[in-house]
Amino acid sequence: MSRYTLTEDDRFFVESVLAMAQQIVDAQYDEDVADDLQTLLVEVANMFDITSSKANVVEHEDGSLTVSFEEQDKPEKKKKNPFTVINGSKPDTDDSIH
C-alpha cells in the first residue's frame, strides 16, 4: 500500500530519479554499501507503490545470456543508515595549527 499518491506525471519523475539512483547503486565497489543503498531505494519505491525488480543474469558457456527478473516488494536486508554527517564547521581548538 502506497503512503503517497502520485499523478501520472509525478510518478514518471519519481521513477526516473529512482532509475538514476539505481545506476549509482550499481557503480558501488563496496558490496555492503551497495546493499544499503539498494535497501534505501526499495523502501522509497514502496512508499510510492512503485514495483522494484532485481535482474538476475546468467552467462552460459556459449556466450548467450539468460535474464530473469524477481520482484522486490520488501528490502532484502534491514541495516542501519550507512551515512555519517560530518560537521566541518566546528572551530579548530588547537592553536598550534595555522
Phi and psi based region of residue 91 (left: phi greater than 0; alpha: psi -120 to 50; beta: remaining): beta
Of residues 13 and 78, the one with the higher pLDDT is: 13
Confidence of residue 11 (pLDDT cuts 50, 70, 90): very high
Residue 90 has pLDDT above 70, yes or no: no
User: If residue 25 lies in a helix (H) or strand (E), which one and from where to where?
Assistant: helix 8-26
Reported as a single tens digit per residue, the pLDDT across 54-81 is 888 889 999 898 988 888 766 555 556 6
Whether pTM exceeds 0.85: no
